[in-house]
Structure 1
Amino acid sequence: MTDAPFHIGFVLFPGITQLDFTGPLQVLHRLPGARVHLASKTLDPLPSDCGLDLVPNTTFDACPQLDLICVPGGFGVDDAMRDAAVTGFLKAQAEAARYVASVCTGAFVLGAAGLLAGKRATTHWAYHGDFATVGAVPVKARVVRDGAVFTGGGVTAGIDFALTIAAEIAGEDVAWAIQLSLEYDPAPPFDSGTPDRVPETVRSGVDARYAPRLAAFREALRDAGFSPSDS
């Protein structure tokens, strides 16, 4: 990595899961030469999924060419997939960006912009059944790379994704140092981070809570021109 600025952009829209965004942001802003651009249609504050408003610092029109562009997920992807301003910005930036990335269901916005066609990629576990709909080759993993496309799984996987791409950009020593400075040493109290390791009673309860959300999401996919699984 040279001394030249490295332009990192996050696409913001209403209804983002804030940790999808703030986890990678906390890692990537520490890269040498990083210049962070929080891009949206306007500079108006945007509500996240947990009461924390997010404030863009540039508009799509004013944003410079990015070296890395990342799309977080959240319930707001329903509208983002159908928003020509969002997908148009992604398409234009991706033409010259060194890296195109997403966290969680933000991958579907990349797909809606035509940027995952034939690409191995990951997303939140609950949405894998519909992932191929937007052209992706689904891979169940925390972080997946296919060429210049990096994708992270659900929510907390965004930190793993960010450290992975930090090592690619600036070298492993830098990534190690960032991880140490953040004291990122996960030791969760429960072994329930994936559906394969939880009791059936827990999994069935979570599936039931996700059912209406997935129904709304699949309707948004249809509106965006895709054909979801309805499974």
Structure 2
Amino acid sequence: MPLSFGLLVFPDVQQLDLTAPYEIFASAEHATVHLLWKDLEPVRSSTGLWLRPSTTFADCPPLDVLCVPGGSGVNALMQDEEVLDFVRHSAAAVRYLTSVCTGSLVLGAAGLLKGRRATTHWNAHDFLERFGALPTQGRVVRDGNLITAGGVTSGIDFGLTVLAELCGTEEAQSVQLGLEYAPEPPFEAGTPDSAPAHVLEFTRRRLAASRRQREQLLTSRGI
């Protein structure tokens, strides 16, 4: 059965938030993956990688899955009514409404998380409650047809989870094997609970400016 996936691409997107699930979805049989934006001009990710949208909002075909990735560009999206209207409209029609990392904050700004369990990057997790969500820890959190993923690399686990829902476990496992996804990280520092205290503190300082901007934005909007 043909499947249609749509991933939002936007200036200052965190590229792995986007490209991790893209790789999973595009590796499935009979799948078409669209990169969605207002126009077809290339956009630059937060780490400098240029990405080219393939479909505009106006020309977006029916989707089985809409995914909103995160990144520093999320701050602008939370104030962009054109984007929020597109997400709201799409949410009413897709089989699964999804996000990776801080993309869930965009779903929240669109009013789509109220009373629903959701997750996001650990450094933004406490913001979820402001949108009426039920903040839930986990690399992948499902609430009905809403599937949200934690920070950045969880987009791989998320992609496989969504693929298993749509195509079955065997197809998801085949994609996992084809990509040789068998992580063995060299350090146990991937979560705030496992990272050494000094590394956690350093990382919090490193992310402080972005978090402060997001805090100011939400406060100014009464969220």
Indicate conservation of the 8 Å contact 1:43/1:59, yes or no.
yes
From 180, 184, 187, the equivalent of 1:187 is: 184
From 102, 109, 117, the equivalent of 1:120 is: 117
From 205, 209, 213, the equivalent of 2:210 is: 213
Q: Does 1:17 align with 2:11?
A: no
Structure 2 equivalent of residue 129 of structure 1: 126
Structure 1 residues without counterparts, runs of 5 or longer: none
User: Which TM-score applies when normalising by structure 2?
Assistant: 0.97
Q: Summarize the alignment of residues 37-186 of structure 1 with structure 2, pairs less than 5 Å apart.
A: 37-186=34-183
- Structure 1 residue 198: deviation in Å? 1.5
Structure 2 equivalent of residue 199 of structure 1: 196
User: Which range moved further: 129-138 or 171-180?
Assistant: 129-138
One-letter identity of the residue aligned with 1:30: S
Distance (Å, rounded) in 2 between the aligned partners of 1:198 and 1:6: 39
- Structure 1 residue 226: deviation in Å? 4.0
CA RMSD of aligned residues (A): 1.0
Provide closer, same or farther for how the CA distance between residues 155 and 117 of structure 1 changes in structure 2, counting only shifts above 3 A.
Answer: same
Identity %: 48
- Structure 1 residue 96: deviation in Å? 1.1
Distance (Å, rounded) in 2 between the aligned partners of 1:137 and 1:120: 4
- Structure 1 residue 220: deviation in Å? 2.2
- Structure 1 residue 104: deviation in Å? 0.1
Distance (Å, rounded) in 1 between the aligned partners of 2:222 and 2:45: 26
Distance (Å, rounded) in 2 between the aligned partners of 1:164 and 1:66: 17
- Structure 1 residue 27: deviation in Å? 0.2
Give the total of aligned pairs: 223
One-letter identity of the residue aligned with 2:17: D
From 23, 28, 31, the equivalent of 2:25 is: 28
